[in-house]
Structure 1
Amino acid sequence: MGMLRDFLGRLVDAFSLTEAIAGPSIAGGRSPYSEHPANGMTPERMARILRAADSGEPLAYFELAEDIEERDPHYASVMATRKRAVSQLPITVTAASEDAADQEHAAFIQGWIDDGVLRRSLFDMLDAIGKGVSICEIDWQLRFGRQTPCQLTWRDQRWFTFDLTDGDTVLLRDGGIGTPLAPHKFVVHRHKNKSGLTIRSGIARVAAWSWMFKSFTVKDWAMFVQNFGQPIRIGRYGRGATEAEKDVLWRAVYNIAGDCAAIIPKDMLIEFQELSSKGSTTDMYEKRADWLDRQTSKLVLGQTTTTDAVSGGHAVSREHRLVQEDIERSDALCLTDTINAQLIPNMIAFNFGPQDRYPHVRIGRPDEVPLGEFAQAFWQLAPQGLTAPVSYIRDRMGIPTPKPGEDVIGGKPSGGGKGAAGDGGTDPALNAMMDRLFTSRNARQTPDDMIAAMNDRLNREAADAMDGMIDEVRQAVTGAKDLRDAADRLAKLQLAPDALAEAMAKGMTLAHLVGQAALLDDIKANA
């Protein structure tokens, strides 16, 4: 297959691109089977696991992080919400320049993205949010004469460790030692939720404590619910009872129902104090579990209203959603940096040779004004002189250009001929009326006279428009044979209300102008 050069100009054996390196291997210390350190977790054991990770042995920590995500429904839910929010964002490609070669490079990357390889891998790459790091092995294949990543295979973090020299360089476990990763074979995504070592920057490190305390609470709650309301069984034995007889008595009372049982001598007394409020006791468990869940929501999503029912209404929900969108953008930018630094340059270099500039892949929503705000702003600014190409408006709104002869809806009203609003002209009669209205203050009529004149003009123009439509309806009805025939004729009529609409528009315009004129008269009279 020959030799290739990566984006730094280093020679790479093309055969090594297709060879799997970091798969499971019992001999290499990469077991596909995981331990479950969450079983019987205690604060002391939790502290030992975290200290071991800090000291360069993260195996138990990675296993614990996976256990928590499997066992805690709330943590699993909010983590999946955060990862899915980013993994479904648009992916765009921008060429390095307008040069033909750069455009070809961008088209190659765009075609690969359209195949969905990157899209399918985003969720796995975002596993770094919880564990601090996520490693995907690149499976390069020769397709249509191009070296192309056909798959980004997620590799279990348990199969990797960190260099003890700097505590941050990722190494592959291989026979009990750590070996450096081939840069052209792996995409290592680091997601820092705090500054410091990668192993200490994952969300799971903080969530582990909330999970452990909640598991204690839920276990105590389950025991309480199981025994709530059951009677306490007490078995009494005599002074001369043997240990064997005591065992028999214990099994008898215990097997009646659950743990609420005891055996005591006949002359021994045990008193049970009844709680004043059992309801408040049960609420304590639920409140503590809910409080810990809310802390996890804040940790993962930055807010609580999208996952928990809290007071505050719609306004608070909108504010909290903005917080979640900020985190979404940050996660997307972090992914974008990883892909552009570790994947895209080699894709171009292996196929076109090392370049000075490379295409830029972007994950995230477009930085555009929302459609509602855009439409409102354009509607307000267009009368002030703002113009825009129709093609831009159609692209922005996602509305295709109609084909010739295709049925359409909407569009500008077509008044035809003179003064039609659709052709940008004005009505000479309307202009004359406006000129007369604002010729001079002395020539102006009183408001009552102007209103009367306006009403007469509107009545005449509307009457003419209505008469035209009424005549068509009258002809259809009088020419009908019966009621069914009349209904059919009326249904087939294509009445043109344009003249009536134009008359009404003129009337409303004149009414507005008359009101302004009257206001000017009042202001000048009182000046």
Structure 2
Amino acid sequence: MLKMGKMNNLVILAPKTRDNTKYKTVTPEKFRQAFSAAQGGRPAALYKIMDWFLSMDGHLAGALQSRISANTSGDSSLIIQDKTAKNENALEILKAALDGIKLRKLKTALLKANYYGARAVELIWAETRMNGKAIIAPVGFKNLPHDFIYADKIRKTDDYKSVFVGAEPLENYDRGHVLLFTAGDADDYSDPDFTTFGRGVSAMRYSIVKYFDVEDWAAFNEVFGMPMRLGILKTGAGEEALKRLEEAVHNLGNDASAVIDETTEIQFPEVNKYSSKAAYEALSEFCNREISKAITSEALTGGEGKTGTYGAMQTANGIRLDVAQSDAAELDDLIQENIINVFYEINFPGLEVPKMKTAIKAAPNLFQQSNIDKNLFEMGLPLSVSALRKRYDAPAPVDDEDRLEKTQNSLFG
């Protein structure tokens, strides 16, 4: 096992082979190769393609930032039950240490795993003095390169690959050296497939539509699978024609060949490369909505369809509240195990170890709330005008000229 001891920092060694791939442009063939490598446990090239799309697509970058900010804007607390002088003093020293490593930046670095699938940092520990006491504390961190994260067999006789960070399997590092945050877990009895981690692959499908032409879409889509196939059964066709159509659509998914009769038709829906500006804008807006859903896990909120639930309405920075809270809980556990617990084992053995808890609060969805208030008003439920004005930050008009009149009954009076 690799040991940190009380003061010795471990330098994370680079993998035996490095991936020096650089992309100024992305082609379907480059994407195919990177996708295949990531499925086999080497995601570095795919991560660099994700970098390229992140730099190109402002909506994609914004969606990821919203997902990150939903967590980093939350309030993190360190909780102890036995508030003795020793415990309180140790707690203050811990808080100072966490401030020193810039905890928010650390969380930001790790939360990018929601896009890439995995991110890793190396913690730096050093001897320092806080509140007059000499301690060993984390004083910073280093973001590890994309190609430091991969999967390989630890022993040639192993049935499955394990996750590596640098030159060593993750399991070889003692707590406190490496923080690896993954958006998704590998099955115990299979090789890690990095294309299934995170939401970047899903989001990139829609960025491809925005930034490439129809021919490129088809080439990129071969990496994901066949395009959508639409079978049309013409009026008057019988059961035999229906059976032949179903077989034809199925065969197209297997070998791109099929035989149909004149009573049936198969279409491959696509967007005309030379369509009007309005059609392109509509397509771009659709892609942006799908990117938001992929990265932020938006579902039945703000820009969704006509139906929704109260639970889905609860959001934090535009992110579904349950998703943001899950991110926070996983990060809290990672920091608790690798920083807080290790810090106390080294410096304050025997004292109560604080528990980290990040509170993610719901931000009201005023669009959804206004629909609820409107429905209650139309049902005849008495509502408070002052409460409504406060909720929507809508002050009363200062005089008659300032009043916006409505011909029908107004919800706000």
Give TM-score scaled by structure 1 length: 0.48
Q: Aligned residue for 1:331? A: 327
Matched, 1:299 2:294: yes
- Name which of 139, 148, 151 aligns with 2:140: 151
Higher RCO by CA contacts (8 Å cutoff, separation 6 or greater) = 2
After superposition, where does 1:510-525 map in structure 2 within 5 Å? none
Please report how far the alpha carbon of residue 305 of structure 1 lies from its aligned counterpart in structure 2 after TM superposition.
8.6
Partner AA of 1:151 in structure 2 = G
Matched, 1:202 2:187: no
- Name which of 337, 341, 346 aligns with 1:345: 341
Matched, 1:187 2:179: yes
Contact 2:213/2:273, CA 8 A, preserved across alignment: no
Please report how far the alpha carbon of residue 179 of structure 1 lies from its aligned counterpart in structure 2 after TM superposition.
10
After superposition, where does 1:450-469 map in structure 2 within 5 Å? none
Please report how far the alpha carbon of residue 56 of structure 1 lies from its aligned counterpart in structure 2 after TM superposition.
1.8
Please report how far the alpha carbon of residue 173 of structure 1 lies from its aligned counterpart in structure 2 after TM superposition.
4.1
Please report how far the alpha carbon of residue 282 of structure 1 lies from its aligned counterpart in structure 2 after TM superposition.
3.1
Summarize the Cα distance change of 1:152–1:329 in structure 2 as closer, same or farther, 3 Å threshold. Answer: same
Once the two structures are superposed, what CA deviation does each residue of 1:486-511 show, in whole Å capped at 9, x if it has no partner?
xxxxxxxxxxxxxxxxxxxxxxxxxx
Please report how far the alpha carbon of residue 307 of structure 1 lies from its aligned counterpart in structure 2 after TM superposition.
8.2
More helix per residue: 1 or 2?
A: 1
Q: Aligned residue for 1:395? A: none
Separation of aligned partners in 1, 2:335 and 2:116: 19
Contact 2:12/2:166, CA 8 A, preserved across alignment: no
Please report how far the alpha carbon of residue 217 of structure 1 lies from its aligned counterpart in structure 2 after TM superposition.
4.3
CA RMSD for the aligned pairs? 4.1
After superposition, where does 1:351-370 map in structure 2 within 5 Å? 351-353=347-349, 355=350, 358-365=353-360
Q: Aligned residue for 2:27? A: 41
Matched, 1:167 2:153: no
Q: Aligned residue for 2:244? A: none
Partner AA of 1:153 in structure 2 = K
Q: Identical aligned pairs, as a percentage?
A: 17
Q: Aligned residue for 1:281? A: 276
Summarize the Cα distance change of 1:278–1:118 in structure 2 as closer, same or farther, 3 Å threshold. Answer: closer
Separation of aligned partners in 1, 2:198 and 2:53: 13
Q: Aligned residue for 1:21? A: 12
Please report how far the alpha carbon of residue 356 of structure 1 lies from its aligned counterpart in structure 2 after TM superposition.
8.6
SS of 1:142's equivalent?
strand
Q: Aligned residue for 1:212? A: 208
Once the two structures are superposed, what CA deviation does each residue of 1:388-431 show, in whole Å capped at 9, x if it has no partner?
xxxxxxxxxxxxxxxxxxxxxxxxxxxxxxxxxxxxxxxxxxxx
Once the two structures are superposed, what CA deviation does each residue of 1:183-229 show, in whole Å capped at 9, x if it has no partner?
43211122228988472221112223222233224999xxxxxxxxx
SS of 1:78's equivalent?
helix
Summarize the Cα distance change of 1:172–1:178 in structure 2 as closer, same or farther, 3 Å threshold. Answer: farther
| Unaligned 5+ runs, structure 2 | 217-271, 363-413
Q: Which entry has the higher C-alpha Rg, 1 or 2?
A: 1
SS of 2:353's equivalent?
coil
- Name which of 285, 292, 307 aligns with 1:290: 285
Contact 1:74/1:293, CA 8 A, preserved across alignment: yes
Separation of aligned partners in 1, 2:338 and 2:109: 16
Please report how far the alpha carbon of residue 350 of structure 1 lies from its aligned counterpart in structure 2 after TM superposition.
1.5
Once the two structures are superposed, what CA deviation does each residue of 1:18-50 show, in whole Å capped at 9, x if it has no partner?
x5435xx7x96457x6512x72422x5534322
Contact 1:75/1:296, CA 8 A, preserved across alignment: yes
Contact 1:192/1:198, CA 8 A, preserved across alignment: no
